[in-house]
């Protein structure tokens, strides 16, 4: 964090696990497949804070890996699926 009399400039880096449940539909069982999805997320952010105004910008990268099963053709083996997502968040706060 960088600080002066007039402003604060924080820098953030984060990591967390992000487990989820596989929601692929299985028509034979009429329920969602409940296999665990392994996920991790990395986040980076910064901001700028003055006496009465604050700006914040962050980016979150998420990576997921799970096993997919072909329910319509069971003779085909399952395969690993990898999904990635990116979220950008911005906030602006005015103190009154």
Residues 52-77 have pLDDT tens digits of 899 999 999 999 887 776 666 666 66
User: What tokens does 63 get?
Assistant: 């990576």
pLDDT given at position 37 = 78
Backbone dihedral region for residue 30 (phi beyond 0: left; psi -120 to 50: alpha; all else: beta): left
* Whole-number Å distance between alpha carbons of 36 and 21: 5
One DSSP character per residue, 1-50 reads -EE-SS-EE-EEEEEEE--EE---EETTTTEE--PEEEEEEEEEEEEEE-
The bridge status of strand 25-26 relative to strand 79-94 is: unpaired
pLDDT digits (tens, 9 = 90+) for 1-25: 778 888 888 899 999 998 877 666 5
Q: Among candidates 44, 50, 56, 51, which has minimal Cα distance to 15?
A: 44
């Amino acid at each position: 964090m960088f600080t002066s009399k007039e402003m604060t400039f924080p820098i953030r880096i984060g990591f967390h696990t992000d487990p989820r449940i596989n929601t692929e539909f299985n028509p034979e069982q009429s329920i969602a497949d409940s296999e665990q999805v392994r996920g991790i997320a990395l986040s980076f952010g910064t901001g700028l804070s003055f006496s009465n105004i604050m700006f914040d910008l962050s980016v979150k990268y998420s990576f997921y890996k799970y096993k997919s099963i072909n329910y319509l053709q069971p003779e085909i083996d399952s395969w690993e699926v990898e999904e990635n997502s990116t979220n950008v968040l911005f906030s602006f706060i005015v103190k009154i």
